């Protein structure tokens, strides 16, 4: 809608400024500004924030949340919610570790970890589409089941199998100055942004959340779309779990605990509406970056780390409030 | 005897429309007064004035028991003894019967808490006065539609109403429930309560009415005693008007080739509520515009939902001689059927999406290669339709929620026309849109038929059905009650089949 509000004749003369001005119309604009302002604010108090090594460290720290938020935002756009992402992540890391422990190759181990995600996604998706459970309930159930399974398998003790060095590249390696998990995040962001904005599937995801009945009556296979986003969400979370295991080479019984809240927060900060139909992959990733930035700032500025959660909560409320008010005032176009 | 309520010279003007034009109405205590007229005749506007929802234009006079009054709002109307029971029931399903009857005026005990015992006892008293056995502590959601209606009547009585207005109270009731309700109405009248009864069902009108007032195009045509009134006369009073000249030119493009044949279409799930479709059979020819007419609750939309796979059915549907099983809308679409739904906002459009995105939703794959949408092709196709249909939008990128109703409707038509289904079902295609847009919609349907598309038009706008259909099928209570060729189809004939 924004591109067309600028008349063609004006376009040429405005050049670079035009892009800047158009940025203002992006849904992600608010959160991007918040990210920049927060960065500047932190830099005022500490010289250590705006350094390549710190920024790369921060990026690696929030990359897992950001990766998971890509799946989550697609679920949220269909009007659903996936509370089980933390369990899918934790259990996927654990199963990968178990495979190494049992002497399987790293490919088999990674495949098994991703398979856990697939199983989670199919279970969630079928409970929601075939049985008709509300997504909140279905994924609350699988969240709890996954959690219980992790304790049953580990008996509360971390699992630290032997792994080849080539496997640890996934979580610990660098591509130039950029940590591998961040590279994976960037690749996934590009892929899923294209899927959501340029493909038929993406259009159907938005239509399903925008008005499920109208979408169904237009021929959209709404159930299939929903099943697909839950499978994607869980599988992406499982990938995050495999990366986390590669990073620490230890499968913690409590890995992924409570991460669903941070992931949902990232999507919401990034402009996704929990009512469905609205949101973007890029917004969710920037939202996750903002949360990571705050966490880093709290550490750098020597603020009581217990305050970090409270600050994050405040930022969520402010960011989403601004978004809501902006949409209300900015008219409906 | 002074009438309980007398309205003289009541007019109501909305921007661009004169909904009521010097209407006179006298309502006596203890009479059942039927208000008859087509959709849009002004019945509901008149009711809203009686109950204080709308104010009449200056100049008219309303007198209650001989005293001139200005009815300020519904609460004031209720204080004057005027209650209304709307067609869409206004009961809360998760509360008990007594809680509904006393909603927003709950009796309080000395402690300041609700005095349940009194509330239940008084509700029981009102219900037994009505002669119905419903437990005051039952959840309203567990009751049938008919029983819920009785709860509303009980509520009206507990207000000590002297006049109760009932807006198509039997529209969604079964035969049996209707009979119970009509008995109740008679009984209330016997107790001196005046009843305004709005109904489209002729047999009911003659069964219940003491007097009948007919409205047409916002004017009072006549008020007469029900005795001595005939069906033919009543129908003529209701529908007598010139067919709109705008829609005069009809050319049939129907061929002899049967494209779709429907046999014995019936309800799959037994349900107590609403209509029960049974044994609906018809043929649809290539290029034909087939009109479906019926009163509210006759089952028109339900039949279309079955054909489109959004309602389970028994029976057989075949297209081009091949039997098809339609279990979902996407099955129907794959069989070449399109459906322009009645409710464009909740079923037809994704309001938060743009005109372009809504337009292409039915046929997105046409613009896709390997699942990637070619935005340029999509936009240019959309722009072509914006132009041909005269959709008023600044660009294809406008969100549809910013368009007017008529333009939204054109977007819905465009999204289906562009898919080129062999059969297009349009349900109330012109409801709530202005006369110019209506003519454009009719022209589009005619053009699609000329191109060989078969069209089913469902409408409760009788002149519209007659103006654009090659043939009219009339439904009544879930069954086909008449099939009339264009030559046979007169307003009186169709109305008789729908009501008689």
| pLDDT per residue rounded down to tens, chain A (333 residues) | 333 443 444 444 445 666 666 666 667 887 888 899 999 999 999 999 999 999 999 999 999 999 999 999 999 999 999 999 999 999 999 999 999 999 999 999 999 999 999 999 999 999 999 999 999 999 999 999 999 999 999 998 999 999 999 999 999 999 999 999 999 999 999 999 999 999 999 999 999 999 999 999 999 999 999 999 999 999 999 999 999 999 999 999 999 988 999 999 999 999 898 889 999 999 999 999 999 999 899 889 888 878 888 888 888 888 788 777 876 664 433
Residue-level pLDDT at B1: 67
Query: Which residue among A4, A218, A332 places its CB closest to the CB of B361?
Result: A218
pLDDT reported for residue B498: 84
Highest mean pLDDT: which of A1-15, B284-298, B376-390, B403-417?
Answer: B376-390
Q: Is the Cβ pair B354, A216 closer than 8 Å?
A: no
ipTM of the complex: 0.81
pLDDT at A7: 40
Choose among A200, A215, A216: nearest Cβ to B373. Answer: A200
In a 13 Å sphere around the CA of A162, the CA atoms on its Cβ side amount to: 4
Specify whether the CB–CB gap between A31 and A269 falls below 8 A: yes
CA distance, residue A124 to nearest chain B CA (Å)? 23
Q: Does domain B247-499 have CATH number 3.40.50.2030?
A: no
A215 has a chain B CB within 8 A of its CB: yes
User: What is the mean predicted confidence (pLDDT) over B191-219?
Assistant: 89
What pLDDT, on a 0 to 100 scale, did the predictor assign at position A11?
Answer: 42
- Residues of B within 8 A of A201 (CB-CB) are 371
Q: Please give the torsion angle defined by the CA atoms of residues A73, A75, A76 and A79, in that order, rounded to the nearest 10 degrees.
A: 160
Break chain A down into helix, strand, coil percent, rounded to 5: 75, 0, 25
Question: What is d(CA A32, CA A24) in angstroms, rounded to the nearest whole number?
Answer: 10
Is residue B224's pLDDT more than 80? yes
List of chain A residues whose C-beta atoms are within 8 Å of the C-beta of residue B310: 216-217
**Which pLDDT does position B242 carry in this prediction?**
44
Query: Which chain A residues have a beta carbon less than 8 Å from that of B359?
Result: none
Identify which of B222, B226, B186 has the alpha carbon closest to the alpha carbon of residue B203. B226
B438 has pLDDT over 90: no
pLDDT at position A332, please? 36
Q: Which of B413 and A10 is assigned the larger pLDDT?
A: B413
Is A211–B351 a contact, with Cβ atoms under 8 angstroms apart?
Answer: yes
- Does residue A328 belong to the interface with chain B, where contact is any CB pair within 8 Å? no
Provide the 3-class DSSP secondary structure of residue A24.
Answer: coil
Selecting from B357, B397, B401 the residue whose C-beta is nearest the C-beta of A203 gives B357
Residue B407's pLDDT is 86
Q: Which residues of A touch B398 (CB under 8 A)?
A: 1, 333
Q: What is the pLDDT of residues B141-184, one digit of tens each?
A: 888 878 888 898 888 888 889 999 998 887 767 667 788 889 98
Q: Compute the distance between CA of residue A315 and CA of residue A265 in angstroms, rounded to an integer.
A: 10
Token pair of A215, please?
Answer: 């979408």
Q: Closest Cα partner for B226 from B242, B212, B207, B240? A: B212
Kindly report, residue by residue over B318-358, the tens digit of the pLDDT.
999 999 999 999 999 999 999 998 888 888 999 999 999 99
DSSP state of B480: E
What residues does CATH 3.40.50.300 cover in chain B? Answer: 5-242, 247-499
B346 touches chain A (CB under 8 A): yes
Lowest mean pLDDT, pick from A245-249, B217-221, B488-492: B488-492
The whole-angstrom separation of Cα A239 and Cα A242 is 5
Rounded to the nearest angstrom, the gap between the alpha carbon of residue A129 and the centroid of all alpha carbons in its chain is 23
Mean pLDDT of chain B: 87
* pLDDT for the residue A133: 97
Give the pLDDT score at B244: 47
Of A199, A210, A221, the CB nearest to B353: A210
Return the CATH number of the domain spanning residue range B5-242. Answer: 3.40.50.300
| Tokens linked to A272 | 């996704």
**B272: confidence class by pLDDT, cuts 50, 70, 90:** low
Summarize pLDDT for B239-261 with one digit per residue, the tens.
Answer: 765 444 445 567 788 888 999 99
Given a contact cutoff of 8 angstroms between Cβ atoms, the answer to whether A332 and B402 are in contact is yes
Determine, for residues A219 and B339 on separate chains, whether the beta-carbon distance falls below 8 Å: no
Instruction: Collect all residues of chain B within an 8 Å Cβ-Cβ radius of residue A219.
Output: 329-330, 333, 361-362
User: Which pLDDT score is estimated for B461?
Assistant: 77
Reply yes or no on whether the pLDDT at B431 is more than 90: no
Task: For residue B319, give the nearest of B262, B265, B259 by alpha carbon.
Answer: B259
A278 touches chain B (CB under 8 A): yes
pLDDT attached to residue B458? 92
Mean pLDDT (whole number) for B8-15: 87
Span B62-111, pLDDT tens digits: 999 999 999 999 889 999 999 998 876 778 888 999 999 998 788 888 88
Burial letters for A103-134: b for 16+ Cβ neighbours within 10 Å, e otherwise?
eeebeebbebbbbbbbbbbebbbbbbbeeebe
């Amino acid at each position: 809608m924004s591109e067309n509000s600028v008349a063609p004749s004006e376009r040429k003369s405005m050049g670079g400024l035009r892009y800047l001005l158009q940025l203002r119309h992006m849904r992600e604009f608010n959160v991007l500004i918040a990210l920049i302002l927060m960065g500047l604010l932190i830099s005022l108090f500490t010289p250590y924030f705006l350094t390549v090594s710190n920024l790369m460290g921060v990026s690696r720290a929030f990359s897992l949340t950001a990766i998971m938020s890509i799946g989550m935002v697609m679920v949220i756009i269909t009007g659903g919610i996936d509370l089980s992402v933390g369990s899918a992540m934790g259990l996927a890391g654990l199963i990968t570790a178990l495979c190494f422990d049992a002497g399987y190759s790293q490919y088999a181990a990674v495949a098994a970890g991703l398979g856990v995600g697939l199983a989670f996604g199919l279970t969630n998706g079928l409970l929601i589409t075939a049985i008709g459970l509300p997504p909140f309930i279905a994924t609350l159930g699988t969240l709890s089941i996954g959690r219980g399974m992790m304790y049953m398998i580990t008996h509360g003790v971390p699992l630290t199998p032997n792994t080849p060095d080539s496997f640890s590249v996934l979580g610990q390696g660098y591509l130039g100055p950029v940590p591998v998990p961040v590279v994976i995040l960037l690749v996934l962001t590009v892929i899923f942004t294209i899927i959501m904005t340029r493909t038929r599937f993406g259009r159907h995801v938005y239509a399903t959340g925008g008005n499920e009945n109208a979408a169904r009556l237009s021929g959209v296979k709404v159930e299939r779309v929903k099943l697909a986003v839950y499978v994607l969400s869980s599988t992406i979370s499982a990938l995050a779990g495999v990366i986390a295991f590669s990073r620490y080479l230890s499968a913690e019984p409590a890995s992924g605990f409570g991460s669903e809240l941070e992931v949902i927060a990232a999507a919401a900060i990034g402009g996704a509406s929990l009512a469905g139909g609205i949101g973007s992959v890029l917004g969710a990733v920037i939202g996750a970056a903002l949360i990571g930035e705050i966490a880093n700032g709290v550490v750098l500025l020597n603020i009581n780390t217990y305050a970090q959660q409270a600050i994050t909560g405040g930022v969520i409320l402010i960011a989403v409030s601004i978004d809501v008010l902006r949409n209300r005032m900015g008219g409906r176009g | 005897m002074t009438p309980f309520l007398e309205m003289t010279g009541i007019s109501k003007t909305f921007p661009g429309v004169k909904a009521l034009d010097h209407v006179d109405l006298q309502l006596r205590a203890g009479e059942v007064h039927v208000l008859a007229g087509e959709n849009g005749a002004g019945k509901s506007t008149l009711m809203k004035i009686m109950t204080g929802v709308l104010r009449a234009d200056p100049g008219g006079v309303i007198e209650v028991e001989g005293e001139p009054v200005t009815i300020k709002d519904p609460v004031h109307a209720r204080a004057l003894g005027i209650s209304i029971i709307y067609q869409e029931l206004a009961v809360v399903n998760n509360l008990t019967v007594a809680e509904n009857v006393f909603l927003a005026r709950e009796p309080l005990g000395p402690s300041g808490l609700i005095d349940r015992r009194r509330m239940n006892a008084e509700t029981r008293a009102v219900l037994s006065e009505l002669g119905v056995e419903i437990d005051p502590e039952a959840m309203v959601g567990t009751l049938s539609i008919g029983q819920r209606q009785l709860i509303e009547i009980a509520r009206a009585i507990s207000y000590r109403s002297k006049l109760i207005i009932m807006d198509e109270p039997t529209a969604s009731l079964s035969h049996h429930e209707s009979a119970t309700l009509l008995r109740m109405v008679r009984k209330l009248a016997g107790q001196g309560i005046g009843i305004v009864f709005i109904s489209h069902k002729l047999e009911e009108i003659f069964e219940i009415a003491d007097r009948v007032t007919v409205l047409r195009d916002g004017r009072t045509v006549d008020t007469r005693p029900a005795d001595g009134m005939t069906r033919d006369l009543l129908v003529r009073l209701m529908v007598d008007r010139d067919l709109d000249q705008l829609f005069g030119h009809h050319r049939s493009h129907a061929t002899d080739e049967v494209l779709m044949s429907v046999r014995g279409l019936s309800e799959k799930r037994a349900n107590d509520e609403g209509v029960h479709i049974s044994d609906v059979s018809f043929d649809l020819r290539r290029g034909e515009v087939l009109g479906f007419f019926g009163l509210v609750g006759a089952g028109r939309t339900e039949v279309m939902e079955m054909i489109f796979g959004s309602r389970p059915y028994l029976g057989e549907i075949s297209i081009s001689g091949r039997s098809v099983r339609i279990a979902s809308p996407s099955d129907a679409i794959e069989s070449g059927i399109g459906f322009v739904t009645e409710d464009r906002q909740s079923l037809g459009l994704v309001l938060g999406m743009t005109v372009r995105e809504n337009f292409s939703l039915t046929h997105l794959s046409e613009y896709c290669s390997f699942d990637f949408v070619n935005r340029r092709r999509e936009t240019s196709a959309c722009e072509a339709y914006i132009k041909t249909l005269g959709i008023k939008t600044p660009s294809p990128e406008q969100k549809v929620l910013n368009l007017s109703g008529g333009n939204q409707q054109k977007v819905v038509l465009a999204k289906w026309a562009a898919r080129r289904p062999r059969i297009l079902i349009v349900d109330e295609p012109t409801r709530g849109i202005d006369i110019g847009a209506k003519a454009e919609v009719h022209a589009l349907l005619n053009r699609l038929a000329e191109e060989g598309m078969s069209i089913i038009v469902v409408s409760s706008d009788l002149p519209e059905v007659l103006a654009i259909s090659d043939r009219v099928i009339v439904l009544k209570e879930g069954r086909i009650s008449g099939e009339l060729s264009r030559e046979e189809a007169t307003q009186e004939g169709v109305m008789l089949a729908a009501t008689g």
